[in-house]
Structure 1
Amino acid sequence: MIKILIKNRLFLRRLLRMLLIVCGPYAVCWANTDPGKISSLIKAIEVDRIGGQLPEMSYEKIGRQVVKVKVSLNLPQDMNCADWQIRILPAFQPNFHWAPHLTPSDDHIIAQHVFRAPMMMLAHQRKQLVIIPDVDLLNRTLARDWYMDMDAERNQLTLGRSLAQVAEHVLFKRKSGNTYASGKFEFAFYVLSFDDREVADNPFRRPLAFYWKKWGEGLFDQGEPISGDLETYVRHSYHWAFQSWVKQVWQSFEINGKKVGAPTFIVNTTQSPNYPGKTTEREFRSIWNQAWFSSLRSASGLYRFAKRTGNQDLLDKANLTKELALSYPKKKGFFYGLIGTEMEDTTDGDGTKKSLRSKGWAHYYWGNSNRNPYTWDARKSPFHILDMSWTALLMLRWYNELEKDPRLLAYAEDYGKSLLEVQSANGFFPGWLDVETLKPLAHLNESPESALSVTFLLMLYRITQKEEYKLAALKAMQAIMREIIPDGRWEDFETYWSCSRIGSEDWVGKKVSRNDMYKQNNFSMFWTAEALLECYQVTKSKEYLKTGQRTLDELLMTQAAWQPHFIPIKALGGFGVMNADGEWNDARQSLFAELIIRYGKELKQKEYFQRGLAALRASFVMMYCPENPDTKAQWEEAWPFFGKEDYGFMMENYGHGGETNAKGLGIGEFTIYDWGNGAAAEAYNRILDHYGRDFIAGKKL
């Protein structure tokens, strides 16, 4: 094999005289224009033949730091080509790598299913190279086989076309059988190159700005992903939970003689009033106050809505959920994260079909989230510092913004005092505590989960003015800035101990060597970006704001910034989850939305306002209702019995399993009120109170 090296302008001028250079099985060339600065960052580009023919390559200089590379070929007949590649070989050795998905072996690829804002980037000190597939061409040709791959060990970036299959949950591997129809074959991508100090400070900002300006902003201005009054969706949420599905969703009972209540953790399609068969519950009936599923968070949104609309029934329900949160028993300040009921299997009269049913709230128990490294049994699960800090923070926010209930402050501060006692000398807070001994367990004792405790402690400091809370928070933040952010070590409970468990045995605390990246979850990025903004507002130190923006931008790398043809619902503004899973429009976007807006306000950047509002809009895209015709059609493809009584039903995400089509594949079968419609409604009500209706409508950006 011959490789043609890009070394200097004289050589480039010689290349301009050539339309194509043939090099064995592939071509390597720069043609038609001087690619400028990128010539110092790319050593060679290798392009595969198709059916023995070499594609033509051309270059268009878009700007001082952007070049568009086009590849085309006229195929005289249909061709079989299982895996066609363009390989980009950098002219420098990077010490920073980023790609949207992990490819731990040569068999793995980054399938277009996870092209939310697809790009790959490499950097070393001042140098940065970014490769972005041309998604306009992908959409125009209705391609379903584009992919990327980043091989850090070989120092090679690959773009290509191959069918993909889901392997582990959720990674992708090549699949044989790809064919190209006769006629024009086209492929294109953008090359962004930078050589300045900003690369080291924040390698994400300029690629994000390019992507949003080129693809996201125009869609946002057109009203994507949804337009109109978002309060319509909020009313659907509350009508569904507290009227049409009230028997299935709302739970009311007594604890030690005190009436409490909250929506149940999860319901599924078999519980629909329109379902023709026998009902079964998907998981144990329960109510959670956990980092995802927070009944207290949803209740705060219901409280805001009830106060604004004068709805006493909904206000009573919000207060019953607050009473439940205050009823969770404590051990030396630490407290449980859920209340559940005993379950039983039932069968039809002929014994042919089993159903899972609750025994009722007379058979309740206290427990903790079973998304942990130790047990699936909620009754045996350990205390999770993250979950407790989140619930205590929500208590303080309720106290600070909704009503000065002194019990909320007392409960939260009791926990805060205990939290200080378990902080390690290096600043981190432990991951989990044994429920009996209250001693730290083995996992995530130096993780970005500590950032949520930072935000909680700073809120506690603001209210009480006790310096010990601020000092502990800043100590933890320094540890995260020192140990987590520079290396992208975004490992938390969801990264390994939820549905995507690949790597839980041997990747924890280690990079995937082929990609030079950790398995990463964007939840950690959110907690850290929020904590850094709080640190800045307390101290006024610009270092926190600068690092916070970098962290926020890393989070935004997981936000959809275009509308793919292969996603049959609206996608702009929605978030994925991690670099080893398949979700679109995940419910976390409702949690992220206001933080993005807050950074926009602090930094005076319109892009952040737009991205934050797009995230808020995307929070309602998965809802089954007439206002979402594309989504409604997908629900009815999957569940034909759905009707108006189901308006408001909303899956937490789309395409979770890594596959989609226009016939309902990618639609789920359950609603988690506290991580779906109730959570989205809370975000809307909170942002409305903080910024006003005109801002949400996009009139005051």
Structure 2
Amino acid sequence: MNGSRFARRARRARRPISVDAHPARAVRVSILLAVLLSAVPGFWACRAVETGATRLDRDGARYTLRLDGEPVVSFTVPALGPAGAPRVDVADLDGPEKGWRRVRLVWDLEAPAAQDELAVRFDLLFEPELWWAPHLAPEEGTVVAQHVFRSPALIAAAGPRVLTVVPDLDLVGARPENPWFLDLDAPKRAMALGLSKTDVPEHVLFRKVPGQVFRPGRVELGFFISAAVDPEPVKDPWAGAASFLWSRWGRPLYAKGEPIPGPLRSYVRRTYDWAFRGWAPFVWQEFDLGGRRVGAPQFIVNVSQSPNSPEPWFQRESLSIWNQAWFSSLRSASGLFRYARAALDEGLMAKARMTKELALAAPVADGLFPSVIATPNEEVPVDGRKLPRPRPWSEARWTNSDRTPVEHGITADWYHVLDMSVTALAMLRWHDELEKDARLLDYARAYGERLLRLQDEAGYFPGWLHPETHAPGPVMNRTPESSLSATFLLKLADMTGEPRFRAAALRAVDAVVADIVPRGRWLDFETFWSCSAWGKDRYLDRPVERNALYKQNTLSMFWTAEALLAAWRATGRALYLDWGRRTLDELSMAQQVWQPPFIHVPALGGFGVMNADGEWNDSRQSLFAELFLDYADATGETAFRERGLAALEAGFVMMYCPENPKVKAMWERVYPWFGPADYGFTMENYGHGGRTSPEGEGMGVFTIYDWGNGAAAEAVLRVLDHRPELKSELDPQR
């Protein structure tokens, strides 16, 4: 294979491009939002602009858009200091973007102007049933800052009508001192788009702050706007925005070779060289457990453990190995198994099988099992200071993830149903795809039997179970975490031929479709018990009033879209595929579709985490990638295929290696002592705290093999095994 980045870009450029216009779903009705032409008094007097069934009327300084005679939205154009009102350019788009209008406001400043905010306010003249913004702005003064403009839009929908506003990403970030924002105030039926400085008062929300100054020159503010009428039984308010954002910005970048220019083979090799050679003394853990030789990469390593580190090393968190929804050592080992099998590498194959043995060694109690094995830390004196370092594996104990609602009495001793379902599903996939091992099937089946007894009358599976009584905890018992358990049960039904597993799975899927998906109630363990704890005291199971949105996490969307696709495959019911596509479109709104000037690493294809956190290029993109390819197969949508492949590549963007020259330079700004022994080091995300800088702010300090390079390598190897036709483009082997 020719590994040249230029050859690869040429191949992409020749690839036929089709447009995801959702032809069977939406009948587009265009909205023209024209605005006051600033310096021409009376220009718009008694004038209405009509396009199709829409009309824009002026009544004094107020502009009202009507759709089929009914008022939809009104707005006013802002003034900027001594420049006053702007010049307004309105353009009708055509071709695949027909139905959208671009509105661009232009001011020519001759002198600096101090103005804290410059914004267009949209007042909705109908009562939306659904509101959406990419980030929470829970109080007056909080906003959706440009830092979280991954696939930015403001959406309001009622019945079949959808109003969508998209910032003009060709303008966003052009003036670094005048950053952009969005806002949504549902009780006031108002939305806004504008420019204002912001701060990050907590992890991670954004608040407007004073002190904005516009330097002389051209100032531009713009947006695209559309209305769609969706006659389908399953409404998809995100379809139009997702399609527009990808076709206008994502697809052209993808065709040029973004997010990474070279073949993926070298990144996979870098991963395993880093884990099992360069950083092996810290990454790879191998020990005896109950008469078995087991092993796996440890949960997390940090820059102090680099062979080049000038400082003594310390242990971040505890020395541990996880089989959990984020960090699945068994899932990562399946990738190592595929790699070793193709390379005929007996040493790596032995390591993959040791990780399988570790998963099987987790003790079972009535079908339930723990997800983490860990050793305690101790304080060790080193060079005059005390540093945390781990005790030996002989002192390890089984436990569970500590990302729990401890304020409700749920600790790491409690079983997490989601984590057990993740591991049991990985066991089934190993048995089905890699090597037959009856122990895996028996272990997963015993858990499946127990899971059936845990299902409640509505169809849900509980969140956490008491370590002794196995009773469900007081919270999080009817959430979309049940979707992952449904996918596991559908796989178990397929492998055992027993319909009762299938019936229980479909009950869970139906419950999620009825209660979770229409309301966007995307709550799971990560939503409140990871790094972003905001809202757990008030919004554990209710929406944020100002935004009419729940705090939402993308993992729940992924598990649900995956379960709906599995349900469609199992039953052939088109409704499952329709709901799945809607959910995948909603998930798509967390995918990065452009290259912002304030994001200093390649951005295309990566994903954010939730609507109250700041990550770009989060490692979940590797988990999501194949699902987009699966939906491309099911629906014929080219955009899903492109999104999936871009996500697959994005998994390696944060890797320190020569293949990523821009990112390599950023790492070396932060850690000048990084060198060849560190090639393969991969941070799980970028810009996590809501800030970035050209000097390296936002790069991070650690690698989680199972939620970083190991996860990315596994995803590539799995996709290639499932889709050998992609080998010519993605083949990671020499």
> TM-score scaled by structure 1?
0.94
Which aligned pairs between 1:240-319 and structure 2 lie closer than 5 A?
240-319=274-353
- The C-alpha deviation readout for 1:611-650, integer Å capped at 9, x for no partner, is 0000000000010000111111111111111000000000
Give the direction of change, closer, same or farther, for the CA distance of 1:84–1:362 in structure 2 (3 Å limit).
same
Q: Does 1:580 align with 2:612?
A: yes
Give the direction of change, closer, same or farther, for the CA distance of 1:697–1:504 in structure 2 (3 Å limit).
same
Give the deviation of 1:418 after TM superposition. Answer: 0.5
- 8 Å contact from structure 1 (residues 651, 671) kept in 2: yes
- The C-alpha deviation readout for 1:8-38, integer Å capped at 9, x for no partner, is xxxx99x999655889xxx999999656537
Which residue of the partner structure matches residue 160 of structure 1? 194
Q: Does 1:426 align with 2:458?
A: yes
Give the direction of change, closer, same or farther, for the CA distance of 1:22–1:81 in structure 2 (3 Å limit).
farther
Which residue of the partner structure matches residue 7 of structure 1? none
Give the deviation of 1:198 after TM superposition. Answer: 4.6
Which residue of 117, 120, 131 corresponds with 2:154?
A: 120
Q: Does 1:596 align with 2:622?
A: no
Of the structure 1 ranges 394-403 and 31-40, higher mean CA displacement relative to structure 2 is found in 31-40
Distance, in Å, in 2 between the alignment partners of 1:135 and 1:225 is 18
Distance, in Å, in 1 between the alignment partners of 2:495 and 2:202 is 46
Q: Does 1:54 align with 2:96?
A: no
Which residue of the partner structure matches residue 98 of structure 1? 132
Which residue of the partner structure matches residue 700 of structure 2? 668
Q: Matched residues, percent identical?
A: 46
Give the deviation of 1:195 after TM superposition. Answer: 2.5
Indicate the RMSD between aligned Cα atoms, in angstroms.
Answer: 2.2
Which residue of the partner structure matches residue 111 of structure 1? 145
SS for the counterpart of 1:224 is: coil
Give the deviation of 1:57 after TM superposition. Answer: 2.3
Distance, in Å, in 2 between the alignment partners of 1:691 and 1:160 is 44
Which residue of the partner structure matches residue 646 of structure 2? 614
Which residue of the partner structure matches residue 204 of structure 1? 238
- 8 Å contact from structure 2 (residues 401, 412) kept in 1: no
Which aligned pairs between 1:360-375 and structure 2 lie closer than 5 A?
360-374=392-406
- 8 Å contact from structure 1 (residues 461, 469) kept in 2: yes
Q: Which runs of 5+ in 1 are unaligned?
A: 1-11
Give the direction of change, closer, same or farther, for the CA distance of 1:310–1:170 in structure 2 (3 Å limit).
same
Distance, in Å, in 2 between the alignment partners of 1:501 and 1:432 is 18
Which residue of the partner structure matches residue 79 of structure 1? 113
- 8 Å contact from structure 2 (residues 283, 297) kept in 1: yes
Which residue of the partner structure matches residue 185 of structure 1? 219
What is the total number of aligned residue pairs between the two structures? 682
Q: Which runs of 5+ in 2 are unaligned?
A: 1-31, 56-64
- 8 Å contact from structure 1 (residues 370, 376) kept in 2: no
Give the deviation of 1:143 after TM superposition. Answer: 6.3
Give the deviation of 1:62 after TM superposition. Answer: 1.5
* AA in 2 matched with 1:182: P
Distance, in Å, in 1 between the alignment partners of 2:543 and 2:339 is 45
Give the deviation of 1:354 after TM superposition. Answer: 2.4
Give the deviation of 1:673 after TM superposition. Answer: 0.3
Q: Does 1:174 align with 2:208?
A: yes
Which residue of the partner structure matches residue 438 of structure 2? 406
Distance, in Å, in 1 between the alignment partners of 2:594 and 2:494 is 40
Distance, in Å, in 2 between the alignment partners of 1:335 and 1:210 is 45
Distance, in Å, in 1 between the alignment partners of 2:37 and 2:174 is 29
- 8 Å contact from structure 2 (residues 318, 375) kept in 1: yes
Which residue of the partner structure matches residue 262 of structure 2? 228
SS for the counterpart of 1:136 is: coil
Which residue of the partner structure matches residue 328 of structure 1? 362
Q: Does 1:389 align with 2:424?
A: no
Give the deviation of 1:342 after TM superposition. Answer: 1.5
Which residue of 470, 474, 488 corresponds with 1:442?
A: 474
- 8 Å contact from structure 2 (residues 263, 730) kept in 1: no
SS for the counterpart of 1:570 is: coil
Which aligned pairs between 1:634-649 and structure 2 lie closer than 5 A?
634-649=666-681
SS for the counterpart of 2:172 is: helix
Give the deviation of 1:128 after TM superposition. Answer: 1.1
Distance, in Å, in 2 between the alignment partners of 1:59 and 1:32 is 14
SS for the counterpart of 2:646 is: helix
Give the deviation of 1:196 after TM superposition. Answer: 3.6
Give the deviation of 1:193 after TM superposition. Answer: 1.1
Q: Does 1:338 align with 2:372?
A: yes
Which aligned pairs between 1:22-61 and structure 2 lie closer than 5 A?
34=50, 37=54, 39-40=65-66, 42-52=72-82, 53-61=84-92
Give the direction of change, closer, same or farther, for the CA distance of 1:32–1:568 in structure 2 (3 Å limit).
farther
Distance, in Å, in 2 between the alignment partners of 1:32 and 1:671 is 58
Distance, in Å, in 2 between the alignment partners of 1:70 and 1:386 is 47
> TM-score scaled by structure 2?
0.90
Give the deviation of 1:73 after TM superposition. Answer: 1.3
Give the direction of change, closer, same or farther, for the CA distance of 1:426–1:181 in structure 2 (3 Å limit).
same
Which residue of the partner structure matches residue 25 of structure 2? none
Which residue of the partner structure matches residue 8 of structure 1? none
SS for the counterpart of 1:516 is: coil
